[in-house]
Amino acid sequence: MGVVSNLLDSKGGEVLTVNPESSVREAVEKMEKISAGTALVMADGCVVGIVSERDIIRKVVLSGKSISDVKVQDIMSTELTTITKETSLDDCMKLITEKRIRHLPVLDDGNLCGIVSIGDVVKYLIVEKDFKIKNLESYISGVM
């Protein structure tokens, strides 16, 4: 079974980050620019939170507030579940399922080195299974 480092090798470790002092509008503009649904919130080189489209809808739009007036720090989630590069993809799926979350920041000695989404994990696992199936088919074909 694969580990997070394999997934990051294939997808890359770039992560959209925003400052807690940024307005929600600034965060939304950054997210829209790269079609991201989530941004990690960084302060002094440390991950301090995560903000998602869901946070913005629930905590800003439905409250009738302006995305220009609300700061990211006012709506971000601060109870983060993080993983390391050595975390297995099975463990990632368990965390995502149990905690009902969609993104897992990847930290290496406290330093951000990527983010893994549920979509990333599922895609990687499908590719990995397809590879194994093709190898087994080749083995069976070669033996008979």
Give me the DSSP letters along 34-76.
TT-SEEEEEETTEEEEEEEHHHHIIIIITTT--TTTSBGGGT-
pTM for this model (two decimals): 0.83
Task: Give the span between the Cα atoms of 15 and 121, in whole angstroms.
Answer: 16
pLDDT band per the 50, 70, 90 thresholds, residue 84: very high
Q: How many CB atoms lie within 10 A of CB 115?
A: 25
- Torsion sign (Cα): 93, 94, 99, 104: negative
What pLDDT score was predicted for residue 33? 96
What pLDDT score was predicted for residue 133? 79
Judge residue 75's burial from the number of C-beta atoms within 10 Å of its C-beta, 0-12 exposed, 13-18 middle, 19 or more buried: buried
pLDDT in tens, 29-57: 999 999 999 999 999 999 999 999 999 99
Report the chain's mean pLDDT, rounded to a whole number.
91
On the question of pLDDT at 143 being above 70, the answer is no
pLDDT band per the 50, 70, 90 thresholds, residue 99: very high
Task: Give the span between the Cα atoms of 53 and 60, in whole angstroms.
Answer: 10
On the question of pLDDT at 139 being above 80, the answer is no
pLDDT in tens, 101-136: 999 999 998 899 999 999 999 888 887 776 777 777
Q: Cβ distance 51 to 74 under 8 Å?
A: no
What pLDDT score was predicted for residue 129? 76
Mean pLDDT of 52-71: 95
In the CATH scheme, what is the code of domain 4-143? Answer: 3.10.580.10
